[in-house]
């Protein structure tokens, strides 16, 4: 198996077999994290630049650890400590960093399309670590990996995605990723938070919470931000909690082997009952663990492609 | 009074599209098939309706009861008494009370009060926005859960199109219809009556027809774009009717209502600065009246609602500029509609659709709006030949702000039955 693209910007660019290739590779890399000495020389001498234009705990530390375990030289730029605060444009920032000959950029940005934009200004690989409301492809891959560790295949699984789908880059990536692997996807949210148009055939809008979770094999819960009420998407967090929260009672209607995923950060007792997390009925920490393996795999696959291309 | 037989009435049922002389048998508050072997034990509860028209219980989907907050204008009790006199078995009350009905406690208060009064059915309409302020969504799921059957910021339009759009989407999640008071507030400005010859002659600021029509067009476009359902309240102009007719043809999920005054009166009623004819939307022109009647007939308009809006004598005894908008209408709604029947403009069947069957469907009031077996025994019995005069002393409302006082009518509700109980 190979992958013949320089960048990982969108799940839409991957085929089903590409996704499987990333997951299989990640499974191998996961073994490294379970050893005493969690380091291999795979990316020795390669330079990776992490640029985070948005705050992030999980994704950023996950990428940094992945880079360290692969022996890459990496640096992370937080926007608050960079020339961006002096008014430097995204393009100029990238052109300056590009002059330092990095091998890969990992970028998180509040604007959709940012990763796509910088990929046009650099020869280095670009990994999208979340762009606006658009996509978060490595989150999707780690979600799929977490599911594949327990389920034989994704095909025909009922996947419920519930919450602020309209503003969620995780949802957009997951919808395309799980759909490519043949899952039946049910979306549910207040209709004001549903995407307007979905072009995929195996994606349905559920009528209510119960229809969404009933016999579901996978439930992906999404965070709701308080600010949504001030832009009229919902009346209040209190009402959201009352009608759109995943409760133990609703969860009991799901299939016996249901897996509950959440990309974090969790608002306990808003979108998901705290008791579900406390009772260890979610795979939230498994997701975080697999995140490192997936990011190691992404860096490895993209940089290997670059190396091959240079040798041509 | 468990088993009742209404005999010899002409039964008008929109669901089965039948208008025939037949008996109706009621048991346990539900309309049932007449038992084959008529046992004599129900014969003691026979209502002879010879010569009367039997309608499915009339539903007024747009009423302002002023309780809580303005009990000097109207209470739930006085409003219901007026409704009974007018032939209504169900009324829907708008949320512009004090406090506004934008939450569970107010809806619960209204329903509890109605239950204790034990008169007719009360179906509360909740607010679209918190406090009717147009800044944020009311707790719509909670309103539905506590018993609201629809949502409206009636009295004021939702000015912010984004809020209206999201309200349509959010309400769809809970299958609650949005009832829109569609109007461009800035175009209304300080207007008090229809902008036209009469406003010019009286020298008062007018409200242009387009203030309504632009609002109607906007709200229909929002509903069409978002694939949501919308009900337009109190349609009064020819332009609005045209917009709605076109939207329906294009498959947009829109319904609408008009009020009896919009097919009965014109702006000329205001020539003597009569504040009892000051309403919003205002009385329009003869051409508008003609368009409204046409639309009632061709199905463009789905419902007749009174927009019953009581105001005290002190509030109305002032200039056109200062008086509040609104007139009462519960007791004149059916009689004014029957005038259209006598003018051969609409049929009795159409009246049953406009005043019962369609409102029940628009508001998802299950098992109401028809006289078919299995439906709730909400029934209006009307003596449509009776000639009578509407006088101030016959008004059951606490407020008397009607432009129809002194008028003669032919036809009146003679009895109403709610869930098998004659009131």
Could you read off the pLDDT of B7-42 as tens digits, one per residue? 999 999 999 999 999 999 999 999 999 887 655 555
Kindly state the percentage of chain B with pLDDT values over 90. Answer: 97
Structural domain includes residue B208: yes
Same structural domain, A263 and A149: yes
At A186, give phi and psi (nearest 5°).
-115, 125
Structural domain includes residue A161: yes
Going by pLDDT thresholds of 50, 70 and 90, the confidence category of residue A198 is confident
Same structural domain, A160 and A217: yes
Are B160 and B130 a contacting pair, CB within 8 Å? Answer: no
Same structural domain, A115 and A205: no
Going by pLDDT thresholds of 50, 70 and 90, the confidence category of residue B230 is very high
**pLDDT at res. B41:** 57
**pLDDT at res. B52:** 97
**pLDDT at res. B40:** 55
Q: Which of residues 195-254 of B touch A (CB under 8 A)?
A: 228
Same structural domain, A200 and A213: yes
DSSP assignment letter at A13? G
Least confident of B39-48, B157-166, B302-311: B39-48
Same structural domain, A263 and A295: no
| Alpha-carbon dihedral B329, B331, B332, B333, rounded to 10 degrees | 70
Quote the pTM value.
0.94
Give exposure, B288-322, as e/b (b: 16+ Cβ within 10 Å). bbebbbbbbeeebbbbbbbbbbbbbeebbeeebee
DSSP string, A218-250: EEEE----GGGGGGTSSS-HHHHHHHH-B-HHH
**pLDDT at res. B267:** 98
Q: Is the pLDDT of residue A18 over 90?
A: yes
Q: pLDDT (tens digit, 9 = 90+) per residue, B169-217?
A: 999 999 999 999 999 999 999 999 999 999 999 999 999 999 999 999 9
Size of interface A-B (CB pairs under 8 A): 45
* Average pLDDT of the segment spanning A117-121: 96
Q: pLDDT (tens digit, 9 = 90+) per residue, A57-92?
A: 899 999 999 999 999 999 999 887 777 777 888 999
**pLDDT at res. A262:** 97
Structural domain boundaries enclosing A303: 11-135+288-307
Same structural domain, A190 and A129: no
**pLDDT at res. A10:** 98
**pLDDT at res. B281:** 98
**Would you name the residues of A annotated as active-site residues?**
58-59, 86, 108, 136
Least confident of A27-31, A200-204, A251-255, B195-199: A200-204
Distance CA A72, CA B339 (A): 88
**pLDDT at res. B6:** 96
Structural domain includes residue A2: no
C-beta atoms surrounding B221 within 10 Å: 15
**pLDDT at res. A227:** 79
Least confident of A222-226, A233-237, B312-316, B380-384: A222-226
| B160, B167, B170: best to mutate for the A interface, most A CBs within 10 A | B170
Are A191 and B170 a contacting pair, CB within 8 Å? Answer: yes
* Average pLDDT of the segment spanning A213-230: 92
C-beta atoms surrounding A249 within 10 Å: 9
* Average pLDDT over chain B, rounded to an integer: 96
Q: Is the pLDDT of residue A312 over 70?
A: no
* Average pLDDT of the segment spanning A262-274: 95
3-state secondary structure of A256: coil
* Average pLDDT of the segment spanning A278-306: 94
**pLDDT at res. A80:** 74
Structural domain includes residue B409: no
Which DSSP helix (H) or strand (E) runs through B217? helix B209-226
CATH code where residue B353 lies: 3.20.20.140
A137-148 and A284-311 are packed helices; what angle lies between their axes, rounded to 10 degrees?
A: 120
**pLDDT at res. A229:** 79
**pLDDT at res. A83:** 72
* Average pLDDT of the segment spanning B344-364: 98
Beta strands B254-258 and B303-304 are parallel
Q: pLDDT (tens digit, 9 = 90+) per residue, B116-160?
A: 999 999 999 999 999 999 999 999 999 999 999 999 999 999 999
A31 CB contacts (<8 Å, ≥6 apart)?
Answer: none
Contacts of A192 in chain B (CB under 8 A): 166, 169-170, 173
**pLDDT at res. A309:** 74
Structural domain includes residue B219: yes
Structural domain includes residue A279: yes
Structural domain includes residue B365: yes
Q: Which residue of A has its CA nearest to B175?
A: A207
**Domain count along chain B:** 1
Distance CA B150, CA B58 (A): 18
Distance CA A209, CA A245 (A): 9
Contact criterion met (CB < 8 Å) for A190 and B170: yes
Distance CA B249, CA B241 (A): 12
The two structure tokens encoding residue A79? 């926007």
Kindly state the percentage of chain A with pLDDT values over 90. Answer: 84
3-state secondary structure of B256: strand
Same structural domain, A110 and A202: no
Q: pLDDT (tens digit, 9 = 90+) per residue, B100-118?
A: 999 999 999 999 999 999 9
Structural domain includes residue A45: yes
Distance CA B68, CA B65 (A): 8
In angstroms, the Cα distances linking B111 to A76, B13, B93, B106, B419 are 61, 29, 11, 9, 16
Distance CA B423, CA B415 (A): 7
Same structural domain, A168 and A255: yes
Classify burial at B98, counting beta carbons within 10 Å of its beta carbon; exposed 0-12, middle 13-18, buried 19 or more. exposed
Same structural domain, A172 and A118: no
Locus of tokens 């709730």: B376
Contact criterion met (CB < 8 Å) for A235 and B138: yes
Judged by a CB distance cut-off of 8 A, whether residue A210 touches chain B is no
3-state secondary structure of A183: coil
Structural domain boundaries enclosing B71: 57-371
A132 CB contacts (<8 Å, ≥6 apart)?
Answer: A109, A110, A111, A112, A113, A114, A169
Contact criterion met (CB < 8 Å) for B141 and A233: no
Distance CA A136, CA A114 (A): 12
Q: Is the pLDDT of residue A120 over 80?
A: yes
Same structural domain, A156 and A241: yes
Contacts of A235 in chain B (CB under 8 A): 130, 136-141, 170
Beta strands in chain A (DSSP E): 47-52, 73-78, 104-109, 125-131, 158-162, 184-188, 203-205, 218-221, 259-261
* Average pLDDT of the segment spanning A202-213: 96
ipTM of this predicted structure: 0.90
Contacts of A229 in chain B (CB under 8 A): 136-137
The two structure tokens encoding residue B66? 């002023």
Q: Is the pLDDT of residue B1 over 70?
A: no
Which DSSP helix (H) or strand (E) runs through B410? strand B408-418
Distance CA B212, CA B219 (A): 11
Judged by a CB distance cut-off of 8 A, whether residue B141 touches chain A is yes
3-state secondary structure of A91: helix
Distance CA B95, CA B181 (A): 12
Q: Of B280, B69, B100, B255, whose CA–CA distance to B190 is shortest?
A: B280
**Domain count along chain A:** 2
CATH code where residue A173 lies: 3.40.50.1370
Q: Which of B139, B142, B166 sits opposite A232 (nearest CB)?
A: B166
Which DSSP helix (H) or strand (E) runs through A147? helix A137-148
* Average pLDDT of the segment spanning B286-299: 98
Q: Which residue of A has its CA nearest to B139?
A: A235
């Amino acid at each position: 198996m190979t992958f013949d693209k320089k960048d990982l910007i969108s799940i839409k660019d991957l085929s089903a077999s590409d996704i499987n290739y990333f997951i299989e590779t990640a499974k191998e890399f996961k073994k490294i994290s379970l050893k005493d000495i969690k380091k291999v020389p795979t990316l020795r001498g390669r330079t990776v630049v992490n640029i985070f234009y948005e705050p992030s705990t999980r994704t950023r530390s996950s990428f940094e650890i992945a880079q360290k375990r692969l022996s890459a030289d990496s640096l992370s730029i937080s926007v608050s400590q960079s020339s961006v605060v002096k008014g430097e444009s995204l393009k100029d920032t990238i052109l300056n960093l590009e002059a330092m000959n990095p091998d890969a950029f990992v970028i998180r940005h509040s604007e959709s399309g940012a990763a796509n934009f910088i990929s046009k200004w650099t020869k280095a690989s670009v990994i999208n670590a979340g762009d606006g409301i658009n996509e978060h492809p490595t989150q999707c891959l780690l979600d799929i990996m977490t599911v594949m560790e327990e389920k034989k295949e994704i095909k025909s699984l009922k996947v419920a995605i519930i919450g602020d789908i309209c503003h969620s880059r995780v949802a957009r990536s997951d919808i395309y990723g799980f759909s490519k692997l043949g899952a039946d996807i049910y979306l549910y949210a207040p209709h004001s938070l549903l995407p307007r148009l979905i072009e995929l055939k195996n994606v349905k809008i559920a009528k209510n919470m119960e229809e969404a979770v009933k016999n579901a094999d996978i439930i992906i819960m999404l965070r709701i931000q308080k600010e949504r009420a001030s832009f009229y998407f919902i009346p209040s967090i209190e009402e959201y909690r009352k009608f759109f929260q995943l409760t133990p009672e609703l969860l009991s209607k799901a299939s016996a082997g249901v897996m509950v995923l959440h990309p974090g950060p969790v608002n306990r007792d808003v979108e998901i009952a705290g008791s579900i997390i406390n009772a260890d009925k979610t795979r939230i920490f498994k997701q975080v663990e697999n995140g490192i393996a997936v990011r190691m795999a992404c860096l490895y696959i993209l940089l290997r492609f670059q190396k091959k291309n240079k040798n041509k | 009074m468990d088993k009742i037989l209404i005999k010899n009435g002409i039964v008008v049922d929109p669901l089965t599209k039948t208008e025939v002389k037949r008996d109706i048998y009621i048991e346990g508050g539900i309309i049932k098939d007449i038992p084959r072997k008529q046992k004599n034990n129900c014969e003691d509860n026979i209502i002879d309706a010879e010569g009367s028209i039997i309608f499915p219980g009339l539903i007024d989907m747009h009423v302002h009861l002023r309780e809580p907050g303005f009990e000097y204008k109207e209470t739930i009790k006085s409003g219901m008494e007026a409704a009974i006199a007018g032939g209504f078995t169900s009324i829907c009350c708008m949320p512009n009370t004090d406090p506004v009905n934008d939450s569970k406690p107010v809806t619960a208060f209204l329903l509890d009060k109605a239950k204790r009064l034990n008169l007719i059915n009360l179906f509360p309409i909740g607010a679209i926005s918190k406090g009717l302020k147009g800044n944020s969504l009311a707790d719509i799921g909670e309103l539905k859960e506590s018993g609201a059957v629809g949502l409206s910021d009636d009295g004021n339009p939702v000015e912010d199109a984004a809020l209206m759009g999201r309200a349509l989407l959010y309400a769809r999640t809970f299958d609650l219809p949005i009832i829109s008071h569609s109007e461009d507030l800035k175009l209304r400005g300080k207007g008090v009556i229809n902008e036209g010859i009469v406003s010019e002659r009286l020298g008062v600021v007018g409200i242009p027809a387009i203030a309504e029509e632009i609002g109607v067009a906007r709200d229909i476009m929002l509903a069409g774009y978002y694939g949501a359902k919308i009900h337009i309240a109190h349609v009064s102009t020819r332009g609005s009717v045209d917009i709605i007719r076109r939207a329906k043809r294009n498959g947009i999920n829109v319904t609408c209502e008009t009020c009896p005054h919009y097919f009965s009166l014109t702006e000329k009623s205001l020539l003597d600065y009569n504040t009892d004819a000051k309403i919003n939307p205002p009385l329009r022109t003869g051409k508008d009246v003609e368009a409204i009647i046409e639309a009632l007939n061709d199905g463009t308009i789905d419902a007749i609602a009174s927009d019953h809006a009581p105001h005290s004598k002190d509030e109305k005894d002032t200039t056109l500029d200062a008086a509040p908008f609104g007139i009462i209408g519960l007791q004149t709604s059916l009689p004014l509609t029957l005038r259209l029947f006598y003018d051969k403009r609409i049929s009795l069947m159409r009246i049953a659709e406009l005043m019962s069957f369609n409102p029940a469907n628009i508001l998802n009031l299950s098992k109401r709006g028809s006289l078919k077996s299995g439906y709730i025994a909400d029934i209006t019995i009307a003596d449509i030949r009776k000639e009578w005069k509407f006088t101030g002393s016959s008004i059951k409302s606490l407020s008397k702000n009607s432009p129809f006082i002194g008028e003669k009518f032919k036809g009146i509700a003679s009895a109403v039955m709610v869930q098998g109980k004659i009131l």
